[in-house]
Structure 1
Amino acid sequence: MKLWSGRFSKSTAKLVDEFNASIYFDKKLYKQDITGSIAHAKMLEKSNIITKEENLKIINALKEILKEIEQGKVKFKIEYEDIHMNIEKLLIDKIGEIGKKIHTARSRNDQVAVDIRLYLKEEINNICNLLKKLLKTLIDISEKNIDTIMPGYTHLQRAQPITLAYHIMAYFQMFKRDYLRLIDCLDRMDYLPLGAGALAGTSYNTDRKFIANELNFKGICENSLDAVSDRDFIIEFLSASSIIMMHLSRFCEELIIWNSSEFNFIEMDDSYSTGSSIMPQKKNPDVAELIRGKTGRIYGNLFNILTIMKSLPLAYNKDMQEDKPLLFDTVENLKPCLKIFNEMISTMKIKKNNMKNATKSGFMNATDVADYLVKKGIPFRNAHEIVGKMVLYCIQNNKNIDNLSLYEFKNFSSHFENDILEKVKIENCIESKISLGSTSSKNVINMIKNAKNFLKTIKP
C-alpha cells in the first residue's frame, strides 16, 4: 500500500508505477536522504514534536538502514516510487508507528531539494579538487617550456611566434575561471530548503536554522515557495560544467591537431592512445576525441534542464523529477574527463624542435617589422602596407623575412637600419613583447608565479 493512498479508491496501474517511479536513478541519493532525515529527526525532538526516545529510535534505525544499503542487503521497490518513500517504508518496517512520525513538518518537495544540494555540494568539492590538480599540471608543463618556441595562430593560420608556456598559461586562466565559477555556484546554493514543506511552510514551531547547522549550510532558503521550486543551482552547475567541457574540448582539439603527422608538435603516450582494427600503423588520440565528443552530451543536459524548467508554474511539478538524471550524468562524465585529461597531458611528449621549426615559415615576424617602422616615425597603416609588399616579394622569391639582406630591406624603406636584422629573429620577436600579459619570458614567468600564488589560496 502506498504511503499516500488514503484518498484513493483504486491502486495505481502497474504501468503508472513504472512510469512514475524515480527510484531507478534517485537511489543514488540514499546517503543524503538519510543524512537529511537524521538532522530532521533531531530538530523534531528539539522542537518537542517527538520525544527523545523516539528520536533515538529513528536515528539508530536510519543508521542501520544506511549500513544495510551499503552492504547490498536492501532492494528498493518501484511501488514506493522514490528514494524518500523507500527509506521511510524501511524505517516504518523496522520501528513501526514511530517511523511514521519522521515525515512531520516536511514534504518530499523540500526533502528532494535538500538531498540534491547535499549531493551537489560534495561533488562540486570533488570537481574543484580535480581542477586544482589540472591547474598544477598546467603550471608544471609551462615551467618546463618557457623557452619552447612555437607558432601562435589565428584562423588556424600561423600568426605570431609565442612560447608553449605562454599558450598553456592561457588555458590556466580558463580553468582558473572554471574553478572560481564552481566556488561561486557553491556559495549561492549553500542554503537549506528542508523545512519549507510542500510549498507554504509548516504550522509546527520548527527550527530550520538548527537543521542548517546540522547539515553545514550557511543559511536557509528564505521563501518556502522558492525553496521547493528552485533548480537554479542545478542549471548554474550544468552551465559551469558545460563551460569546463568547452575548455577541455578546445584544448583537446588543439592536441589532436598537434598530434597529427601534418603538425607533429606532440605525441600522445601509448597509455593514452589506441590503435586501428585494420591499419597496423595507426596511433589514435581517442582519449582527446572522446572528451571532445562528451562535450555535446554535457551541453545537452544543460539545454534539457532549461527546457524542463522554462514553463513550470510555481511550485513543484513532476517534470522536475527529470532534473536528477541530467545532473548525475553530468557529474559522472565531467569527473573522469578532468581526471584522464590531466593524466593525458602529463604524459604526452612535446617535440620542441618541430614547434620551433614551424615558426620559420608563415612570415610570423611581419608584425614586428611593421612595429619597427612605426617606432621610426612611420604611421602604422603605411608601415602595414610596406611590410605587406615585403611579404609579397618574399613569396615571389621563395624567401623569409629574416633571410633578407639589409639592402633588400632598404629597397622597401630607407628607415630600415642594420638593427633590423636582429629585430626580425624569432626569439627577439617573442622577447620584444613587453606589454603586461604578453609572450616574453619575463611576463610568462610572472604568470606562473601568480598562478602558484593562486593555488596557495585554494583550501585543501
Structure 2
Amino acid sequence: MTKKAWGGRFTNDSISWVDDFNASIHFDKVLIEEDIKGSIAHGDMLKTKGILTEDEFKKIEAGLKEILEEYQKGQITFSIEREDIHMNIEALLIEKIGPIGGKLHTARSRNDQVATDMHLYVKREVIDIISTIEYLQGTIVELAESNIEVLMPGYTHLQRAQPILFSHHILVYFWMLERDKARFKDALKRIDISPLGAGAISGTTFDIDRHQTQKALDFNDIYHNSMDAVSDRDYIVETLSNISLTMVHLSRLSEELIFWSTDEANFITLSDAFTTGSSMMPQKKNPDMAELIRGKSGRTSGYLMSMLMLLKGLPLTYNKDMQEDKEGLFDAVKTIKGALKIMDGMLSTMSVNKDVLEEAVSNDFSNATELADYLVEKEIPFRDAHEIVGKLVLTCINRGIYLKDLPFEEYKKASSVIENDIYDILSAKVSVNRRISYGSTGTEAVKVQLKLARERIT
C-alpha cells in the first residue's frame, strides 16, 4: 500500500476503487511540464530566502529535470494511489534524491500548486490557439484573393437574396475569427496571473517572495488575495466560453461547406482527404470532417455549462469539486485545435466551382432588388417600386423565365420610366459592382476589406 502524503491523521487504509474514483492522475498528467516548471521556480525562491541550501536546490532541480526526461521517454508509470500529478512527482523525487525532495513542498499547498499549473497550461494553450486561428485566417484571405471575381448567390432564410462575391462571403469568417482572437487575447489578462505562494487558503508563515516566482514563471501579474488565488476559476470559464464561441463559428462555416458541396448546390468540391465514403453506397462522398466540427461544437459548449454549474454553489475556498475543472478543459483545447487545423485543411484544398456559381446567379431572382433600386433612381417611391417588381417576378414565375428573359415591352407596361439599359442593370456582375458603400460586396469594397484583413494578420 502506498503511503499517503496526508495519511498521518488516518488509521485505516484506503480502498482501491475509492482511490480510483478520487484520483486525477488519469488526466492531470498532462500538466507534468507545468508542474515541474512551477516546482523549480518555487525551489529556487526557497533557496533565495535561505529555506533551502544551494546544494539542496541543485539536487531538487536536477531530480525534477530527470523525472521530466524519463517521462518524455516513456519510462515512468504513475500511481493511482498517489492521486495526482503533484504527489506522483513528489514521490518520484523523494525516491530519486532522498528526504531532501520532501523539503520542496515547504510553504506550498497542492491548492496553489495546481492553480499555478493550470494558469501556466491555459496561458500556453491560449497562445497556441491564437496562433492557430491566425493561420486559418491567412488561408481564408488567400481563398478570398484567389476568387475575387467569383460571384455567388447570397442567402437570407436559405432563400436566394442578392448576388454577392464569394470572397465577400468567405471573409465573414475571417472577421468572426478576428473577434475570437481578440477575445482570447483579452482573456490572457486574467490568465496571466500567479497564484503560487498563496498556500492552502491563508498564505504561509515562511518568509517567501511571491514576486520572485511570478517573474520566474513569466506571469504578468500576481493574485493579491490568497483565498482568491486558490479558488479562482474564472479564467477557465472564460477560456471555455471563448473556445465554445469559436467552435460555433467553425460550426457555421462547416454548415456552409456541407451545403455548398451537395449535388443540389455543387458550389465547391471538397478534397478527398477531408471526406469519406459509404460502406454501402459506392457513389457517396460525405463531408464528414465538416460534420464532425459541427457536432463537436456541442461538446465544447457542454464543457462550458458543466464548468458554470460546477462553480455556482461552491463556498470559498478550495473544494474537491474543482478537480472537475480539468478534463473538460483539456478536451476542449484538444478539440478546438484539431477543428481549426481540419478547417484550414478543408479550405486550402477545396475547389470553388466558378462556372456553377456563375450559372446560379444568372438564373434566379436575386437581381430583383437591383430592379427596384433602378426604379427608385427614376424617382419612383421604393414601396411602389417594390410592388412593380414583385408583379414582374410573379409574371416571370408564371412563364417559367427570369427577369433577364422578360421582353422589354413587359417592362414598359409595368413602368414607363424603364429604359433599354435595364438588361445591363440586371446583370449579376453589374449588380455586385454597383455596391459601393464601405463594407459592401462590390469588388473595390472587397479589395479594401482584403487589404485590411492582410494587415490584421501580418
Q: Please point out which of 426, 434, 442 is paired with 2:444.
A: 442
CA distance in 2, matches of 1:139, 1:414: 45
CA distance in 2, matches of 1:259, 1:329: 29
Unaligned runs of at least 5 residues, structure 2 = none
What does residue 286 of structure 2 align with? 284
Q: TM-score if structure 2 supplies the norm length?
A: 0.97
Q: What do residues 38-96 of structure 1 show as CA deviations (whole Å, max 9, x unaligned)?
A: 00001111122222222112111111111122122221111111000111111122222
What does residue 143 of structure 1 align with? 145
CA distance in 1, matches of 2:421, 2:227: 73
Residue 407 of structure 1 deviates from its aligned partner by 2.5
What does residue 99 of structure 1 align with? 101
Q: Which amino acid aligns with 2:338?
A: P
Equivalent position SS for 2:279: coil
What does residue 317 of structure 2 align with? 315
Matches within 5 A, 1:157-306: 157-306=159-308
Aligned length: 456
CA distance in 2, matches of 1:196, 1:255: 49
Residue 249 of structure 1 deviates from its aligned partner by 1.0
Q: What do residues 162-206 of structure 1 show as CA deviations (whole Å, max 9, x unaligned)?
A: 011111111111111111111111222100011111121122221
| Farther-moved stretch of structure 1 (380-389 vs 37-46) | 380-389
CA distance in 1, matches of 2:417, 2:49: 87
What does residue 452 of structure 1 align with? 454
Residue 153 of structure 1 deviates from its aligned partner by 0.3
Residue 13 of structure 1 deviates from its aligned partner by 2.2
Q: Which amino acid aligns with 1:253?
A: E
Check whether the contact 2:276–2:286 (CA below 8 A) recurs between aligned residues.
Answer: yes
Residue 261 of structure 1 deviates from its aligned partner by 0.6
CA distance in 2, matches of 1:292, 1:352: 26
Equivalent position SS for 1:102: helix
CA distance in 1, matches of 2:356, 2:423: 24
CA distance in 2, matches of 1:415, 1:198: 82
Q: What do residues 239-295 of structure 1 show as CA deviations (whole Å, max 9, x unaligned)?
A: 111111111111111111111111111111122221111111111111111111111
CA distance in 1, matches of 2:213, 2:174: 39
What does residue 396 of structure 2 align with? 394
Check whether the contact 2:378–2:417 (CA below 8 A) recurs between aligned residues.
Answer: yes
Q: Which amino acid aligns with 1:55?
A: F
Check whether the contact 2:82–2:88 (CA below 8 A) recurs between aligned residues.
Answer: yes
Instruction: Tell me the C-alpha RMSD between the 2 structures.
Output: 1.3
Q: Please point out which of 5, 8, 13 is paired with 1:6.
A: 8
Check whether the contact 2:362–2:427 (CA below 8 A) recurs between aligned residues.
Answer: no
What does residue 376 of structure 2 align with? 374
Residue 233 of structure 1 deviates from its aligned partner by 1.0
| Farther-moved stretch of structure 1 (144-153 vs 372-381) | 372-381
Equivalent position SS for 2:437: coil
Identity %: 52
CA distance in 1, matches of 2:241, 2:358: 38
| Farther-moved stretch of structure 1 (410-419 vs 20-29) | 410-419
Q: What do residues 403-449 of structure 1 show as CA deviations (whole Å, max 9, x unaligned)?
A: 23333222122222233222121111100111111000001111110
Equivalent position SS for 1:301: helix
Unaligned runs of at least 5 residues, structure 1 = none
Check whether the contact 2:192–2:219 (CA below 8 A) recurs between aligned residues.
Answer: yes
Regions of 4+ moved over 4 Å: none
Equivalent position SS for 2:418: coil
Q: Which amino acid aligns with 1:148?
A: V
Q: Which amino acid aligns with 2:211?
A: K
What does residue 330 of structure 1 align with? 332
Check whether the contact 2:122–2:191 (CA below 8 A) recurs between aligned residues.
Answer: no
Residue 11 of structure 1 deviates from its aligned partner by 2.0
CA distance in 2, matches of 1:347, 1:76: 42
What does residue 50 of structure 1 align with? 52
CA distance in 2, matches of 1:55, 1:11: 33
